Amino acid sequence: MGTVVDSGKKEANGSSLSEKKVTVVFVLGGPGSGKGTQCTNIVEHFGYTHLSAGDLLRAEKESGSENGTMIQNMIKEGKIVPSEVTIKLLQRAMQANNNDKFLIDGFPRNEENRAAFESVTGIEPEFVLFFDCSEVVMERRLLGRNQGRADDNIDTIRKRFKVYMESTLPVIEYYNSKGKVRKIDAEKPVEEVFEAVKSVFTPLHEKVA
């Protein structure tokens, strides 16, 4: 299970995240690697709660808060939002949920994110699910989807690729050195990708059961 250490930090409702024994799986891969689709499948088949760091940040951005304005500017520039902002949003979402199994999608984005998450929450991931996909395929997918997102224009997409290559790959390398990375070929058809994902989650699911 993901290790939880009591950090002594409590939210306003009086409950501490460390009082919940949780299993966390980080889901990483470049923009357009298909993480969201596969997370939906994992939720349906294995009962995890899916927390998308990007969705939480976008929701905060749209809330009109002071943090929201800062987040909007950073996303527009393709930059990484400060760790403490994203971690607070993740903590809030995990505490508000009765589940004890979480997929954290699109986080940690860099080494500083990773170290801060483990330090603040006291949680290490059970493993990292890494969707390996070439930049050419990811760019084609992003340009082809029609979700009306302002951050899906070609310039911003390439900024996001650059940030991903420079910042997120070292996180994957760190966890790989600890034997915690499960790499999935994300260029295959969706059904084949999920078959590979199932082979990763089924043993863990059976062990817990």
**Separation between Cα atoms, residue 177 and residue 68, nearest integer Å:** 35
Planar angle of CA 62, 91, 179, nearest 5 degrees: 115
**Separation between Cα atoms, residue 9 and residue 159, nearest integer Å:** 35
Q: Which pLDDT score, from 0 to 100, does residue 192 have?
A: 96
Q: Which pLDDT score, from 0 to 100, does residue 14 have?
A: 35
Q: Which pLDDT score, from 0 to 100, does residue 72 have?
A: 86
Please report the beta strands in 30-123, taking only residues with DSSP state E, as ranges in sequence order: 49-52, 101-105
Q: Which pLDDT score, from 0 to 100, does residue 207 have?
A: 63
Q: Which pLDDT score, from 0 to 100, does residue 152 have?
A: 58
**Separation between Cα atoms, residue 190 and residue 195, nearest integer Å:** 9
Exposure b/e, 111-146, CB count within 10 A at least 16 = b: eebbebbeebbbbbbbbbbbbebebeebbebbeeee
Please state whether beta strands 181-185 and 127-132 pair in parallel, antiparallel, or not at all (unpaired): parallel
Per-residue pLDDT of the chain (209 residues; tens, 9 = 90+): 444 333 334 443 334 565 668 999 999 998 889 998 999 999 999 999 999 988 899 899 888 888 888 888 887 887 878 899 999 999 999 999 999 999 999 899 899 999 999 999 999 999 999 999 998 898 888 888 755 555 557 788 888 888 888 888 899 999 999 999 999 999 999 999 999 999 999 887 766 55
Element containing residue 178 per DSSP (H, E):
none
Q: Which pLDDT score, from 0 to 100, does residue 5 have?
A: 34
Instruction: Please give the domain boundaries of the chain with CATH numbers for all domains.
Output: 23-200 (3.40.50.300)
Q: Virtual CA dihedral for 71, 81, 47, 187, nearest 10 degrees?
A: 110
Q: Which pLDDT score, from 0 to 100, does residue 69 have?
A: 87
Token match 């298909």: residue?
Answer: 34
Q: How many CB atoms lie within 10 A of CB 153?
A: 12
Q: Which pLDDT score, from 0 to 100, does residue 80 have?
A: 77
Residues 6+ apart with CB under 8 A from 164: 30, 31, 109
